[in-house]
Structure 1
């Protein structure tokens, strides 16, 4: 797609902010949105200083305000004249084991990571269908491969739903080659969301800068599905799908 505009939802921190830096370094115009406007404006100033040739537009967005999701995505189309790529990235992490009083937290994870992702996909695909072109990049997780225990149960379920959602949209687009839908499955990448996670529960962790560089490169290839990094997660995912659950529990 060459130099294009990239809309990143959930861009104020973590993978979203890291990907914004990587796309900016490659010369792409950016539409950045998240709840924290102060962080977005700080990131915008940083990127404009480092890459004065690109255009950056920021908007506030709480992804659980579904009407606002459509308003913001349509607004970016108005800003840029078209949408080239939308990265569905916003999400929250650690929940509680089911049945231990954490329903509200676990519900928030499902709503933010899955239902809000549906709203983002609906808003992006509405525009891509009208344009007959575009790239939807959906950030899932390697945790989508199996059910995970403890505080990751709701998170893994939400990411499994996101992966299935992206695949279903991709199936709809098989006869529309100018519209691409990618499912990205990152392994453990160090961000604010997992910086306190025990090492025993986050094997093969890589630093955020490398993770975002690899994730951005994967998105630009416009694959159907990509594990990031490929090693060890692609072969490990193949194994995880086939292991007895009692062994999976011992590994994670």
Structure 2
């Protein structure tokens, strides 16, 4: 039974929501993000609602790659054994390519892909040493296809992390004690999209329901999971196969 979970990007959104759900299920939690004040507040909340668990928090900017390894190793020392790492930290900003916003798109790719690579490296070093563990990469339904406008760099970064997760999974196929899951969340209402105009995000669900479904999916340790399964698995199937002109109309 996996009991110790490390979650990045845990100060808000899906990271904080998953922490609440795992706490209800009596998991010990190592939580990191840039906003340490929010993490401390979340720690107090979780320990009050689930007094039987242990919670550790540390400040972490995942784009500081050296710090990623330092923080993961420190959590490993705290817990003694890290059962599961959820690579969740990311940003949703971006701009159309060629519109003079290279720095914004660069920041998106560096945060969502290069930082995820650093987190995965740090996690897998721990798991290889333990000879056991479960790595979860949070991608997006945006990874199903290249998307236009402000979503181009974001979708590209999410394609990248999905391919990386598959490569890691292929590398450990013969080691049944190490699992690698790729999670494709659909539209879940968080701080990243709370200001989106009504009607622009079809099939959106609230954060509580979304994080319940994410937690349930992760506990099953699948190779891949669409969350929620309906309608996103069939939507993903169609997105990969429809002509680009059709995808543009709905993206």
Instruction: Report the TM range for the smaller structure's normalisation.
Output: over 0.9
The whole-number CA distance in structure 1 between the counterparts of 2:200 and 2:115 is 27
Pairwise mapping of residues 10-49 of structure 1 onto structure 2 (< 5 A)?
10-49=9-48
SS for the counterpart of 2:135 is strand
Per-residue CA deviations over 1:205-234 (Å, capped at 9, x if unaligned) read 110100001001101100000000000000
Give the match for residue 129 of structure 2: 130
TM-aligned CA deviation for residue 201 of structure 1: 3.3
Of 167-176 and 189-198, the range deviating more from structure 2:
189-198
The whole-number CA distance in structure 1 between the counterparts of 2:78 and 2:26 is 17
TM-aligned CA deviation for residue 108 of structure 1: 0.3
The whole-number CA distance in structure 2 between the counterparts of 1:236 and 1:198 is 21
The whole-number CA distance in structure 1 between the counterparts of 2:212 and 2:5 is 15
TM-aligned CA deviation for residue 198 of structure 1: 2.8
The whole-number CA distance in structure 2 between the counterparts of 1:182 and 1:130 is 19
SS for the counterpart of 1:198 is coil
The whole-number CA distance in structure 2 between the counterparts of 1:150 and 1:142 is 16
The whole-number CA distance in structure 1 between the counterparts of 2:197 and 2:128 is 43
TM-aligned CA deviation for residue 196 of structure 1: 1.3
The whole-number CA distance in structure 2 between the counterparts of 1:94 and 1:203 is 20
The whole-number CA distance in structure 1 between the counterparts of 2:154 and 2:199 is 18
TM-aligned CA deviation for residue 203 of structure 1: 1.5
Matched, 1:224 2:229: no
The whole-number CA distance in structure 2 between the counterparts of 1:122 and 1:193 is 26
The whole-number CA distance in structure 2 between the counterparts of 1:41 and 1:114 is 27
How many pairs are equivalent? 251
Which ranges in structure 2 are unaligned for 5 or more consecutive residues?
none
Give the match for residue 251 of structure 1: 250
TM-aligned CA deviation for residue 87 of structure 1: 0.2
Per-residue CA deviations over 1:65-91 (Å, capped at 9, x if unaligned) read 000000000111100101100000000
The whole-number CA distance in structure 2 between the counterparts of 1:111 and 1:197 is 24
Give the match for residue 167 of structure 2: 168
SS for the counterpart of 1:184 is strand
Give structure 1 regions of 4+ aligned residues with deviation exceeding 4 angstroms. Answer: none
Give the match for residue 99 of structure 1: 98
Which ranges in structure 1 are unaligned for 5 or more consecutive residues?
none
SS for the counterpart of 1:105 is helix
TM-aligned CA deviation for residue 155 of structure 1: 0.4
SS for the counterpart of 1:241 is helix
The whole-number CA distance in structure 1 between the counterparts of 2:154 and 2:81 is 33
Q: TM-score of the superposition, structure 2-length normalised?
A: 0.99
